[in-house]
Structure 1
């Protein structure tokens, strides 16, 4: 009644009583077989339930709770230390008994006395093993209690935030924390039930065997010691179960109260709460660990290794920074090369190739800068080493071969965009030089993709390496007896009148041969392969002009002639047949 009156008065100085009652109730279940203790524990549980809905811990009480929790943690740590010593002694004793059993095992047929001593030693060994296992289980349970106690303060702070905070985001985060702790407490409670049932079953079996043992048996002391270890283990399990059950009930009640309170919230408060919860989820996703790595730094000659982790947020920041800077850099490069082309300092094909290679170099530099800015060392990608790197190397060796060939071709500048090449039986104009391959447009207008490695490994004829001006020839044969000087003059006039034929160097007219059917003249002329009119069209124009000039001058173009001589030993008979009617 006094506690209920304190609850109604709501004095802050009396709020510590709830924790005091809970602390008082915890050890009551350590002897779970005493009915009186259970009745008192149930009574205190009802008191806490009655006080719970109207009590909130202020910051001072939370600090006091931290101190009391730290004291309990020290007690558990001390108990763990003592238990570790006892466990070590039990292990030593078990090993000693195991050695005695091995020594008593007979090599020859055993006598009744030796068999009795061996059986007694084996029984002692079983009791020692039972004691050792109980101590190990008890050590594990105490470790679980220690970890669970470390989360108790976090639970109370979340409870305080849920009740006193004005921020919907903080309340939503506190609610999620309590819900997660409730799930953990439920899992712990199930685990404690399993361990309790197993320990109780083993203890009952041991008590049954002990009941059949003579009171004066020399094994009685060892059996009682093992049974005491099992009882201590069960006691530790009961303590842990009581703590977990108490926290689980409190969490369920707090969450229920929060849900009831949420029903009275306005729509604006609910929307703010939903937004805060979504922001909390986004924050959790943002902090998801993608890949852990070790960062090694050398300080005064000593290598210091720090464990770090690559979280999803850092990775997204790096990708966004890389994308934005790469797009901005690409836009600036595009405008810069366009200005160079507009001023005539570079051709369009060359600008595209150089811009593409510049973007690749910029991408590599930006990747390194991005990793440095977000503090991600290259060692974070060490998982690509080893077998994966070997597999990638074998799979992409042709790709890297062509990539390196493209870099060499670009820096040597023996093959440039716009050059006319003859490679591996393919002749045409180079339209682009990419990272892996080059594009060549043939004179028939067909685009051919040529791997860059062929430009280094095969014989390449570059018709326009130093100059695009090349020499071509047109041959014509005239009949014997034609005026040679007149023919030479007419050929020179035809070359001079054509606008594409270069005047420097000048065309040359050569009498090449006295052929079997004609006198062969050759007109050598120079043209620019990059001109609009192609070499084939220029040759055709010159042939049309030469034919017209020679015809106007009365000079015939010779054609193949053959003389047939018949020789016979006797006259040939000639017979004239009348036409058919």
Structure 2
């Protein structure tokens, strides 16, 4: 069998391990760890004091020092544990066997060190090293996120394989376990597996990417993160939607930033019957020109256009078509244009009608009242 574990055997080995532990050494080890943590807290206190001086150098130093201290504390304690108990029998006592491999506490700590070190190294590289490369080649935010995810997953897979090899586990011995996992995926983990694979497809095919403005179920938001199982979208109301990755491959999603960031705004306006329609057209084009002069969002290529929609029940209906450079500024730009339209029509005494209903009261015959 792959895992040679029974309850009685595990209990017996646990009791034997407990008996081998020298509790005085454990207490001294805890004391040393406590001293390390106190020193860490003191250094963080000093850096916080320097940060409060509001100097940029100290603000950046605080973040750097925190990261370094976390590294030194975590790995220092683990390494200190290995050296301090290097001659203890319980460190090398088997507590579980996988195939022919005897797993000990020592090998387990080594595996944890490898995986955690790879994880932290990946985060440091993606946070401090790769951004300078992205900036040099002018890569957009979506491509940056894709590279970060691929790099992180690659590092973690390599670290996992190396940790198993270090412990002494033959990867071919895991074929049975992989078969069991495959059956589990086939029966109970289909949804998770589907979302995971969909996430990989999203990173490579990129129908959506980080930073895109999308519309999901009539809700507008920006893609913040594409995780292994789900995508996080931040709405305009600062709410976060967690959408399964498979949704973006199976359902219809509007991506306003997919290939061309330009977006056309359609602003409807109605004026009273009898108004000079040529004058209305000129005034609406003037509004678009004024907004373009005060904001770089409004584009003159394609040119703004006024569409005479038709004759409504109580108004002459027009639409002002305006192109903007960034879909993230739809609400702000549309509001500014509406303010300008309202003002310019009022200045030129052009009425904006509203729906009205006429109520006709019919006189009632006096004979009917008498009855």
TM-score normalised to structure 1 length: 0.43
The within-5 A match list for 1:107-186 is none
1:363 Cα deviation after fit:
0.8
Between the aligned partners of 2:182 and 2:232, the Cα distance in structure 1 is: 31
Structure 2 SS opposite 1:512: strand
Indicate whether 1:288 and 2:94 are aligned: yes
Structure 2 SS opposite 1:558: coil
The one of 372, 375, 381 equivalent to 2:174 is: 381
Between the aligned partners of 1:418 and 1:561, the Cα distance in structure 2 is: 45
1:382 Cα deviation after fit:
4.6
1:359 Cα deviation after fit:
1.0
Alignment match, 2:348: 553
Alignment match, 1:513: 310
Between the aligned partners of 1:409 and 1:527, the Cα distance in structure 2 is: 27
Alignment match, 2:62: none
Indicate whether 1:526 and 2:318 are aligned: no
The one of 293, 314, 333 equivalent to 2:126 is: 333
Pick closer, same or farther for the CA change 1:506–1:374 going to 2, 3 Å: same
Between the aligned partners of 1:386 and 1:414, the Cα distance in structure 2 is: 33
The within-5 A match list for 1:554-573 is 554-561=349-356
Between the aligned partners of 2:342 and 2:184, the Cα distance in structure 1 is: 67
Contact kept in structure 2, 1:469 and 1:526, CA below 8 Å: yes
1:315 Cα deviation after fit:
4.3
Cα deviation, 1:488-529, whole Å, max 9, x if unaligned, reads 111100011002321111110121102232221211111133
Between the aligned partners of 2:362 and 2:95, the Cα distance in structure 1 is: 105
Between the aligned partners of 2:177 and 2:200, the Cα distance in structure 1 is: 25
Pick closer, same or farther for the CA change 1:520–1:429 going to 2, 3 Å: same
Pick closer, same or farther for the CA change 1:310–1:490 going to 2, 3 Å: same
Alignment RMSD, CA only?
Answer: 3.1
Contact kept in structure 1, 2:281 and 2:306, CA below 8 Å: yes
The one of 442, 449, 452 equivalent to 2:235 is: 442
Contact kept in structure 1, 2:118 and 2:156, CA below 8 Å: no
Between the aligned partners of 2:351 and 2:86, the Cα distance in structure 1 is: 96
Between the aligned partners of 2:334 and 2:87, the Cα distance in structure 1 is: 79
Alignment match, 2:254: 461
TM-score normalised to structure 2 length: 0.65
The one of 73, 87, 101 equivalent to 1:309 is: 101
Between the aligned partners of 1:281 and 1:544, the Cα distance in structure 2 is: 79
Ranked by relative contact order (alpha carbons within 8 Å, sequence separation 6 or more), the top structure is 2
Q: Alignment length, in residue pairs?
A: 277
1:287 Cα deviation after fit:
5.2
1:433 Cα deviation after fit:
0.7
Between the aligned partners of 1:564 and 1:324, the Cα distance in structure 2 is: 80
1:311 Cα deviation after fit:
3.8
Pick closer, same or farther for the CA change 1:482–1:445 going to 2, 3 Å: same
Structure with more helix by fraction: 1
1:379 Cα deviation after fit:
2.8
Pick closer, same or farther for the CA change 1:483–1:280 going to 2, 3 Å: closer
Note the residue ranges of structure 1 that are not aligned, 5 or more in a row. Answer: 1-277, 294-307, 574-581
Alignment match, 1:433: 226
Contact kept in structure 2, 1:349 and 1:432, CA below 8 Å: no
1:279 Cα deviation after fit:
5.6
Cα deviation, 1:69-109, whole Å, max 9, x if unaligned, reads xxxxxxxxxxxxxxxxxxxxxxxxxxxxxxxxxxxxxxxxx
